Structure 1
Amino acid sequence: MFEFIKGNLEEVLADGIVVEIQGIAYRIYTSQLLLNELPPIGSTIKIYLHMNVREDDISLYGFLSKDERNMYRSLNSVSGVGPKAAMGILSIYNANEIIWAIVGEDTKTLTKAPGIGKKTAQRIILELKDKLKVEDIKVTENTNTSSENPEVKEEAIEALSALGYQSSQIFRIINDVYREGMSIEVLIKETLKCFASRT
C-alpha cells in the first residue's frame, strides 16, 4: 500500500521514529542501524515503508533503502522469523553482510542477532540461500557500515570459481579467513591454503 514517506522527522524513539506530514504523525519502527544514521530532528527525511497487518494491529516499518526493505521482507518470509526478529538482524548487520552470512552458510554470524538461535539461523540459510547471490551485494559509500570490503570478496570468489571450486565451500572459507584490509591476493592465497588443508 505505501511505498515511502517523506516528511519532517519529529521524534526519535528507542525502536523507531515519528515522521510528520501535513499535520499527521506516523509512528515507524526501524532498525538500530537506521537510528544511528538519522539527520537532526526537524530535518526532511525519506523512508521506504513496509506495512505489517495483523488482526489486532497495523504497523509501519521503515528503511533508508529499497535493498534494506527487500532484505527485511526476505527474512520475514522465513518460517519462525517475525517482524521483530527480522528487524533485530537488520539492527546489527546491513543487507550486504546478511547476504554474505546466508550464501556462506554462516550460522555463527546470524545467531549474534537478538532472538536468533542456531535452528532459526539454519532455517534462514536453508530458505534463502538459493534466492540470494553474491551479485546482489551493492557496494556504496553509505550502505557498507562495516570494515569489510565486499568487492574484494566478490573478486576472490570469481577467481576461485574459475579454478573449479564449489561456491558454497568458497563462501564458507572466505568468511572464515577474511580480515580487515586484506588484499585480494592474500585472501585467495589464504583460502587456497584452507582448501589444501581440508583435502
Structure 2
Amino acid sequence: MYDYIKGYINQIDINSIVIENNDIGFRVLTSKNSIDQFSKSLNKDEKITIFTKMIVKEDDISLCGFSSREELEVFNLLTSVSGVGTKVGVALLSSSYYKDIAKAIISSDLSVLTAASGVGNKTAQRIVLELKDKVNKLFVFSDESNDTSSIIPVNSLVVEDAMNALISLGYTKNEVKKTMNKINISSKTTEELIKELLKLINK
C-alpha cells in the first residue's frame, strides 16, 4: 500500500493527475482543490507529494490522493459513512475546501454538503450524525472566527507541542482542547499559544 508518492506531474485531467516516479506514471483520482494546488507545479521542474489511498474493488484497483494528509484524512472519514463512496467523497472535497467540509459537519450546515454532486439531504444528515465527534477530534476549531484559517489540525506541530506542554503540567487533554476551541490559534507560535491557554484555563 502506498502512503504517498513523490514525483513530477505528467498530466492533469478534470478529476485526476498522472504523477511520474522512476519512469512509472501513476494515475491518481483527486479533488478539484488538490488539482488547483498541483497545477502550480505543472510546468515547473519541481517534485510534488500526493498522499494516497488504494481503492480495491472486485473489478478495479485505483489510487485516490490529495495534496495534504489532512484532506486525505477527511476523505477517509467521509467514505466511512454508508452511502458515501469514492466518487461522492471526491465530489464533496471538490465542491468545498476540506476545512469548510469539517466546519460544516461540526456546525450541522447541510447546505455545504448538499452542494456536492450525489449528496442529498439524507446523506448529508448521516454524514453529520456519524462524523461530528470524529471531526472534532481531528481539528481544533476557534469560536472567535468564521475564517477557515482558524481550523487547525490537532496533529499540527504548534498545537501538538502546546497540548503536550500543558498535559505535562497536569491538565487533561480534553481540558486543553476545550480551551483551545475558545481562541484563535492561527498564526500563533507555540509559546504564544501556551501563554494564552494558561491564562484562560486558570480563570
- TM-score normalised to structure 2 length: 0.67
**What is the CA distance between 1:35 and its match in structure 2?**
1.0
Match of 2:121 in 1: 118
Match of 1:21 in 2: 21
**What is the CA distance between 1:158 and its match in structure 2?**
2.8
Contact persistence 2:30–2:90 (CA under 8 A) = yes
List gaps (5 residues or longer) in structure 2: 152-177, 184-203
**What is the CA distance between 1:94 and its match in structure 2?**
2.0
Is residue 93 from structure 1 mapped to residue 104 from structure 2 by the alignment?
no
Contact persistence 1:105–1:125 (CA under 8 A) = yes
Among residues 13, 35, 40, which one is paired with 2:42 in the alignment? 40
Give the match's secondary structure for 1:60: strand
Match of 2:31 in 1: 31
How far apart, CA to CA, are the structure 2 residues paired with 1:68 and 1:50?
Answer: 12
How far apart, CA to CA, are the structure 2 residues paired with 1:19 and 1:135?
Answer: 28
Moved more, 108-117 or 78-87: 108-117
Match of 1:158 in 2: 182
Return closer, same or farther for 1:66/1:135 CA change in 2, 3 Å cut-off.
closer
Return closer, same or farther for 1:57/1:132 CA change in 2, 3 Å cut-off.
same
Question: How much identity, in percent, do the aligned residues show?
Answer: 37
Give the match's secondary structure for 1:14: coil
Match of 1:172 in 2: none
How far apart, CA to CA, are the structure 2 residues paired with 1:137 and 1:89?
Answer: 21
How far apart, CA to CA, are the structure 2 residues paired with 1:149 and 1:32?
Answer: 18
List gaps (5 residues or longer) in structure 1: 140-146, 160-199
Aligned residues: 151
Give the match's secondary structure for 1:67: helix
**What is the CA distance between 1:111 and its match in structure 2?**
0.5
Q: Would you identify which runs of 4 or more consecutive aligned residues in structure 1 move more than 4 Å?
A: none
Is residue 80 from structure 1 mapped to residue 79 from structure 2 by the alignment?
no
Contact persistence 2:88–2:118 (CA under 8 A) = yes
**What is the CA distance between 1:34 and its match in structure 2?**
1.0
The Cα offsets for residues 62-97 of structure 1, whole Å up to 9 and x where unpaired, read as 111111000000000000000000000101222211
Contact persistence 1:10–1:18 (CA under 8 A) = yes
How far apart, CA to CA, are the structure 1 residues paired with 2:15 and 2:138?
Answer: 31
Contact persistence 1:29–1:60 (CA under 8 A) = yes
